[in-house]
Amino acid sequence: MNPVLNEKSFINAGYNEDTMTVSGVINKSFLLWLILTVGAYLGWTNPQITLKLWIPMLIGIVVLCFIIVSNLKTTPWISPIYAFLEGLFLGTVTLLFEKDYPGIAVNAVFLTICVLFCMLAAFKSGKIRATKKFYRVIGISTLAICLFYLADILLSAFGGAGLSIIHSSSPLGIAINIVIVLVAAFNLIIDFDIIQRGVAMKAPKYMEWYGAFALMVTIVWLYMEILRLLSKIRR
């Protein structure tokens, strides 16, 4: 389950006469993605600069996430900055993949959009329901993936080879990546459900920004996993 978005976020936000709406979340999402696109363009066209700022960008992204999660009222001001930094990072990473596998960027963006709209259609039609069991299974799966990646980072940081299976283009490596893509996709269902509940609970207006930010976190994760999957298949 998306670590930055859960029902408690809306409960802790309190209540206000000016409440969040689904259309408000959509509008804020559109604005954040516009900012991210600008950042991605700059990252794509200026790798000589952004590659040198790789570590500071990552640190900045993580710090901004912690600030937003710890103080939800900062989301309207911090989330645009987060979106811009995330865009710079994604633009740079995507360019590196594109140099090795020409055409992969367009395919990854297209597939991410397709998955997003398929999940939204499945949620709206009731084909996939966010039941308690669904929450539990996806939550545990997401936590397992996070621990899996954390172990890989720690092993690599201390001079080890990391968990090579994560990066492998073998059938098992590709299968693991497909599972991770599916878990990321199903996290969208939980995000849609929690945002819908926030609207029903009449959460404050600023929570529209938080909902848009949380959706961006999931979609960026989904995009990165699709990018990795396509690169493994091409390899």
Is residue 160 scored above 70 in pLDDT? no
Assign 205 to helix, strand or coil: coil
pLDDT at site 150: 85
pLDDT at site 151: 83
The stretch 66-76 carries a mean pLDDT of 91
Six-digit token pair at 120? 């939204």
Residues near 234 by beta carbon (within 8 Å), at least 6 away in sequence:
101, 104
- Give the tens place of pLDDT for each residue, 4-22: 555 555 555 555 558 899 9
- Give the tens place of pLDDT for each residue, 110-149: 999 999 999 999 999 989 888 999 999 999 999 999 998 8
Lowest mean pLDDT among 165-179, 202-216, 219-233: 165-179
Cα–Cα distance, 221 to 201 (Å, whole number): 28
The stretch 175-203 carries a mean pLDDT of 93
Q: Which residue reads 């790789």 in tokens? A: 54
Q: Which residue reads 């890989």 in tokens? A: 152
pLDDT category, 152, cuts 50, 70, 90?
A: confident
Cα–Cα distance, 133 to 222 (Å, whole number): 22
Six-digit token pair at 184? 């990321």
pLDDT category, 166, cuts 50, 70, 90?
A: confident
pLDDT at site 6: 57
- Measuring CA to CA, which residue among 172, 205, 218 is closest to residue 6? 218
Is residue 3 scored above 60 in pLDDT? no
- Give the tens place of pLDDT for each residue, 18-69: 889 999 999 999 999 999 999 999 999 998 888 888 888 989 999 999 999 9
Six-digit token pair at 226? 């699709």
The reported pTM is 0.88
| DSSP code at position 19 | B
pLDDT at site 179: 94
Q: What percent of the chain has pLDDT over 70?
A: 90
pLDDT at site 170: 86
Assign 52 to helix, strand or coil: coil
